[in-house]
Structure 1
Amino acid sequence: MASEINHCGYLGDKYAKLILKVTSAPKSVSEISNETGIPIGTVYRRLEILSNAGFLKVTGYVENGVKWKTYHNRPRRYNVTNPRISFLLDIIKKNPAISYRNIQKISGYPFGTLSNSLSNLEKDSRIIVKRSTRRTHYFPAHISSVEYPVLINLRKETAKKIIKFLAENQKGTYLDFRECTNKAPSTISITLTNLVEEKIIKRISGFKPHFELVDPMFVQNILRKISPSNIDKMKDRFADTFSYF
């Protein structure tokens, strides 16, 4: 077909240009189609051509028994067989939303070495880094961004206990949270306000106001991905009261 591209002429094709532009981070076929507006059938044809020509790297993973593929155009900046790189990727995979300080603590790598390795992994789109004023969190590349808020809050002691309580009991009152967290009222109030603002929980009004998860199945699926031992450890040493500012 005249509209199709060949390996040498890809730069002149508007669809190929768009695909190469949005795949600076790993993207699935549906994500590429949604972000570019290109029909999904056309995306599949361009991906095949670009991948065969070596312009895209294809990464596969399995989640809940389903095979997924992501495509990205960033060149590798590290040797995949490097034990240091493999170790860092394993740490982040097992501890999604982990902080820089905790990566350093687990790995024992000097700050200069660690910073350089993490920077290269981010540039290669092997990990995703979410930065805020007070905290930087590291995620495996295959985790969807919609899961970030829950995973980040599982690293805050009070928020983690509240989320787990609601996942196990469906609903909870302010007094329930005081009992399960053993935290000061101000800390609980700040945490509840943040969780409501991030649409992780919702307040139900009535004779006995209480809180529930906005999407219980969504949270349950995230918790199932993380082993119980890792959930118990998923807490950064950072005061709850100040972690939302």
Structure 2
Amino acid sequence: MESKIDFLNDKYAKLILKSTSVPKPANDISEETGIPLGTVYRRLEILKNAGFLQVAGHIEDGVKVKTYHNKPKRYHISNPRISFLLEIIQKNPAISYRDIQKISGYPFGTLSNSLSNLQKDSRIIVKRSSRRTHYFPSHTPPTEFPVLINLRKETAKKIIMFLVDNKNGTYSDFKKCTNKAPSTVSLTLTNLVEEKIIKRVSGFQPHFELQDVQFVQNILAKITPSNIDKMKDRFADTFSYF
């Protein structure tokens, strides 16, 4: 979808951001870049909503003209540090501060300041809890937050993936597939039910199912296989808190 373009690789976005180093109306941007005017307007709207552009207006010959100007270079996408941080977050939605620091290697002061400015510019979404802070690409729907966060927890992820593969599972199934203490499995199941990711089905043999299988599968499809594999390898050391 065009509303979810990859700002780091989209050629139209790059041309428009370069063109708007000084305030400029859409017609001038189209003429300078050779991008069709309709495409220019669509990209301008997306870039504005993502926090990349400042918009101003003035009266010219009795007509109101809207101009577009990219953000200061320090926190601009062309800044290598900003580009790298955005790429980390885009490839690892719901990543924690600690893991961004490990991947980037940036000092805590530099990283905190950069992430704070990215949030102010609406380039990323930050969700804080009592235990951790999670960072998301700016286009991530809030409805996906709970699943993405739980995919970064060792026990919760194993339970979710078991249900994706097997459609339903019992408490005993989850103890075996997670190899965790009963108390950890019980607490994780309770949290997943409370967050409406899974549901408990009563009957002769009570079991659990995903609330919305297709919804979870769609989220998993957005995470590249290479990143999933890396997540599996690192869960126990860096992502697990259940």
Quick one: distance in 1 between partners of 2:121 and 2:112? 14
Q: Is residue 237 from structure 1 mapped to residue 224 from structure 2 by the alignment?
A: no
Compute the displacement of 1:214 (Å): 0.2
Quick one: distance in 1 between partners of 2:241 and 2:108? 25
State the Cα deviation string for residues 97-137 of structure 1 (Å, max 9, x = none).
00000000000001111111111100000000000111000
1:122/1:217 Cα in 2 relative to 1: closer, same or farther (>3 Å)? same
Quick one: distance in 1 between partners of 2:99 and 2:159? 23
Which structure 2 residues correspond to residues 198-213 of structure 1 after superposition, within 5 A?
Answer: 198-213=195-210
State the Cα deviation string for residues 39-91 of structure 1 (Å, max 9, x = none).
xxxxxxxxxxxx96xxxx6326xxxxxxxx94659753513211111000000
Which structure 2 residues correspond to residues 83-102 of structure 1 after superposition, within 5 A?
Answer: 83-102=80-99
Quick one: distance in 2 between partners of 1:73 and 1:85? 12
Structure 2 match to 1:135: 132
Which ranges of structure 2 fall in alignment gaps of 5 or more residues?
4-24, 27-43, 55-70
Structure 2 match to 1:110: 107
Which structure 2 residues correspond to residues 136-155 of structure 1 after superposition, within 5 A?
Answer: 136-155=133-152
Q: Is residue 119 from structure 1 mapped to residue 116 from structure 2 by the alignment?
A: yes
Question: Runs (4+) of structure 1 moved beyond 6 Å?
Answer: none
Structure 2 match to 1:17: none
TM-score calculated relative to the size of structure 2:
0.69
Structure 2 match to 1:15: none
Amino acid at match of 1:220: Q
Structure 1 match to 2:66: none
1:203/1:227 Cα in 2 relative to 1: closer, same or farther (>3 Å)? same
Secondary structure at 2:165 match in 1: helix
Secondary structure at 2:77 match in 1: coil
Structure 2 match to 1:58: 45
Which structure 2 residues correspond to residues 23-38 of structure 1 after superposition, within 5 A?
Answer: none
Which ranges of structure 1 fall in alignment gaps of 5 or more residues?
1-27, 29-50, 61-68
Identify the structure with the greater helix proportion: 2
1:176/1:108 Cα in 2 relative to 1: closer, same or farther (>3 Å)? same
Secondary structure at 1:167 match in 2: helix
Secondary structure at 1:202 match in 2: strand
Identity of paired residues, percent? 72
1:105/1:71 Cα in 2 relative to 1: closer, same or farther (>3 Å)? closer
Quick one: distance in 2 between partners of 1:177 and 1:71? 40
Quick one: distance in 2 between partners of 1:202 and 1:219? 13
